[in-house]
């Protein structure tokens, strides 16, 4: 029996162990989930809602334990961790409302006396494979809409957050759903790979572009449909007519350094007009180095550790590559000496960067912000679009014509204008290019997670 250790990235201590799911357990979960499809898929929406709704109260009841797990397993600062738990509850409320709105039959009459009904029906068994970075909230995004749609769910959390996955699953299993409706599997990519199984009908995946590309290829050959929410290398553009105000700096700091920079839609590349470059870099570096790096359990901490030593080593390589190719370090640029046991990296601002550096053309999951100058809007768009990714962008500009040009030309699933980006659940979220396939949230996730059936009856 293999065990997966959960390690606290603050002090490298093991905080728990879970059993890795075996090949037989994966197979058995798929078979049981398949058998349960007719029962769960056959229940009415109102019954599914009434079975799932108590989860909101359970999350509320256990919010302290969940937030603590996010602190000890992910290293999320406690105030952010509490926000993530509140987010999961709020999201569930919205999903329940949306389910009623978007899963209802649509009926219309046509000529020749025929009534047409369009019904959204479940795919069947849905595998939900989730990442480490926002493990509770993102798992809710996958599991709850799937269950509301009538899919049975096999959930595999990240191997870096098995305890959050286990706790959330325990609360779901306590709801008393019909047997076989929901399963938890634990393990790394090996176990995830086994879930691309002939008898699985749909894969809801959130994670890196490299993993998503692999799953998409294998699943495609087996005719398994999927929703892919993948990586981002998100540009932010600041034009010459923008004042480098405290508010702007706060938006940028929050946009890059929240969750220690481990957010898919975080600002990953910053482009600023040449005339504002020096002022912006100086103000950013000043604020970034004042961020309080510390124990994530302490409410005053703003920057905790990265989730693992592995992520820290990758980040070090990406920064070293930039520095070797001529980047300047305005602040940070190294591990924190104050927390030698933890996977800490200091908030970093890099200057003099270019697109030949990994820091600009790979997704960087850590507290590092590279800043590059541009001369005119066309160059800014060319730089922003020079990426495999297309998840999100922000622009700061006061000229309507240039704003129109940017919002039209940027190849990203979302563009925020003169404001920080946020994941509003009423609007579609997803990426262009290699940032994903399909959209979640709002009506879009319910369309993705169901198939449409056309029923004709004589009126």
Active site residues: 229
Q: Is 363 in contact with 33 (CB distance < 8 Å)?
A: no
Does position 343 bind ligand NAD by CB under 6 A? no
Binding mask 103-132 for ligand NAD (x = CB under 6 A): --------------------------xxxx
When the beta carbons of 21 and 158 are compared against ligand NAD, the nearer one is 158
Per-residue b/e over 347-362, b at no fewer than 16 CB within 10 Å?
A: bbbbbbbeeebbbbbb
DSSP code of residue 20: P
Q: Which is nearer to ligand NAD, 56 or 314 (CB)?
A: 314
- What is the β-pairing status of strands 389-390 and 368-374? unpaired
With CB under 6 A as the contact rule, the residue among 20, 73, 80, 159 that binds ligand NAD is 159
Residue 231 is a binding residue for ligand NAD (CB under 6 A): yes
Nearest to 135 by CA among 115, 179, 165: 165
Using the rule CB under 6 A, give the single segment among 224-232, 251-259, 312-320, 342-350 that binds ligand NAD: 224-232
| Choice between 230 and 327, CB closer to ligand NAD | 230
For residues 371 to 410, the per-residue mask of contacts with ligand NAD, x marking binding by CB under 6 A and - elsewhere, is --------------------x-------------------
Is residue 85 a contact residue for ligand NAD (CB under 6 A)?
Answer: no
Per-residue contact flags (x/-) with ligand NAD for residues 349 to 368, judged by CB under 6 A: --------------x-x---
* CB 3 to ligand NAD: min, Å: 16
Q: Which residue is nearest to ligand NAD (CB)?
A: 192
Q: Assess 135 for contact with ligand NAD (CB under 6 A).
A: no
> Of the candidates 232, 191, 200, 239, which has an alpha carbon nearest to the alpha carbon of residue 219?
200
For ligand NAD, the binding residue among 76, 98, 120, 156 (CB under 6 A) is 156
Our finding on whether 70 is near ligand NAD (CB under 6 A) is: no
Q: What is the DSSP string of 157-199?
A: --TT-HHHHHHHHHHHHTT-PPTTSEEE---SHHHHHHTS-TT
Work out how close the CB of 207 gets to ligand NAD at its nearest, in angstroms, rounded to a whole number.
Answer: 3
The verdict on 207 binding ligand NAD (CB under 6 A) reads yes
193 lies in the binding site for ligand NAD (CB under 6 A): yes
- The C-alpha angle with vertex 344 and arms to 322 and 393, in degrees rounded to 5, equals 55
CB of residue 118 to ligand NAD, shortest distance in Å: 28
CA dihedral 349, 8, 6, 154 (to 10 degrees): -60
230 binds ligand NAD (CB under 6 A): yes
- Candidates 311, 342, 260, 321; CA nearest to 10 is 342
Is 258 near ligand NAD (CB under 6 A)? no
Residues 113, 459 contacting (CB under 8 angstroms): yes
Near ligand NAD in 412-441, by CB under 6 A: 431, 436
Name the segment binding ligand NAD (CB under 6 A); options: 78-86, 97-105, 230-238, 287-295.
230-238
- Tell me which DSSP letter residue 155 carries: E
133 touches ligand NAD (CB under 6 A): yes
Task: Specify whether the CB–CB gap between 435 and 212 falls below 8 A.
Answer: no
Q: How many angstroms separate the CA atoms of 275 and 280, rounded?
A: 10
Using CB under 6 A as the binding criterion, the count of chain residues that bind ligand NAD stands at 29
Among candidate residues 255, 445, 272, the one with its CA nearest the CA of residue 367: 255
Rounded Cα gap, residues 223 and 202, in angstroms: 9
Ranges of beta strands (E only) in 220-346 are 225-229, 234-238, 267-273, 328-331
Q: Residue 266: which of 393, 412, 165, 361 has the closest Cα?
A: 393
Nearer to ligand NAD, 132 or 345 (CB): 132
- The reply on whether position 91 binds ligand NAD by CB under 6 A is no
| CA contacts within 13 A on the Cβ side of 68 | 6
Binding flags for ligand NAD, 261-300, as an x/- string (CB under 6 A): ---x------------------------------------
- Span from 17-25, 188-196, 285-293, 345-353 in contact with ligand NAD (CB under 6 A): 188-196
User: Could you tell me the two tokens for 304?
Assistant: 């905790």
Indicate the residue among 235 and 436 with the shorter CB distance to ligand NAD. 436
Main-chain phi, psi angles of 158, to 5 degrees: -65, 150
Radius of gyration, CA atoms only, the chain = 23
- Binding-site ranges for ligand NAD (CB under 6 A): 129-133, 138, 156, 158-159, 188-189, 192-193, 206-208, 211, 214-215, 229-232, 264, 363, 365, 391, 431, 436
């Amino acid at each position: 029996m293999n065990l997966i250790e959960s390690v606290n990235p603050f002090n490298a201590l093991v905080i728990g162990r879970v059993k890795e799911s075996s090949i037989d357990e994966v197979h058995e979960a798929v078979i049981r989930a398949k058998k349960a499809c007719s029962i769960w898929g056959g229940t009415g929406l109102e019954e599914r809602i009434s079975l799932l709704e108590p989860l909101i109260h359970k999350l509320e009841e256990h919010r302290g334990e969940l937030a603590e797990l996010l602190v000890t397993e992910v290293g999320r600062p406690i105030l952010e961790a509490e926000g993530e738990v509140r987010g999961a509850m709020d999201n569930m409320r919205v999903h329940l409302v949306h389910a009623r709105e978007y899963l209802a039959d649509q009926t219309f009459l046509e000529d020749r006396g025929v009534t047409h009904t369009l019904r959204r029906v479940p795919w069947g068994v849905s595998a939900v494979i989730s990442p480490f970075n926002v493990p509770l909230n993102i798992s809710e995004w996958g599991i709850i809409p799937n269950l509301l749609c009538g899919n049975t769910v096999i959930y595999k959390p990240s191997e870096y957050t098995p305890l959050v996955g286990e706790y959330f699953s325990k609360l779901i299993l306590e709801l008393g759903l019909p047997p076989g409706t929901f399963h938890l599997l634990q393990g790394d990519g090996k176990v995830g790979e086994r879930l691309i199984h002939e008898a699985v009908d749909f894969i809801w995946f959130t994670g890196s572009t490299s993993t998503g590309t692999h799953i998409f290829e294998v699943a495609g050959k087996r005719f398994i449909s999927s929703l892919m929410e993948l990586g981002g290398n998100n540009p932010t553009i600041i034009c010459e007519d923008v004042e480098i105000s405290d508010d702007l700096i706060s938006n940028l700091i929050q946009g890059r350094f929240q969750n220690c920079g481990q957010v898919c839609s975080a600002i990953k590349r910053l482009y600023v007009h040449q005339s504002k470059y020096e002022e912006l870099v100086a103000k950013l570096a000043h604020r970034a180095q004042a961020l309080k790096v510390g124990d994530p359990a302490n409410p005053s901490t703003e920057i905790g550790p990265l989730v693992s030593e592995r992520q820290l080593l990758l980040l070090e390589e990406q920064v070293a590559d930039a520095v070797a190719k001529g980047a300047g370090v305005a602040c940070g640029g190294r591990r924190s000496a104050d927390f030698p046991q933890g996977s800490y990296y200091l908030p970093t601002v890099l200057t003099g960067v270019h697109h030949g550096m990994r820091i600009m053309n790979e997704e960087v999951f850590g507290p590092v912000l590279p800043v590059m100058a541009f001369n005119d809007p066309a160059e800014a768009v060319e730089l922003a679009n020079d990426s495999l990714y297309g998840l999100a962008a922000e622009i700061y500009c006061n000229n309507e014509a240039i704003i129109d040009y940017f919002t039209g030309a940027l190849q990203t699933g979302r563009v925020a204008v003169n404001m920080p980006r946020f994941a509003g659940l009423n609007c579609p979220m997803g990426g262009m290019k290699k940032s994903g396939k399909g959209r979640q949230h709002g009506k879009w996730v319910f369309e993705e997670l169901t198939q449409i059936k056309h029923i004709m009856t004589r009126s």
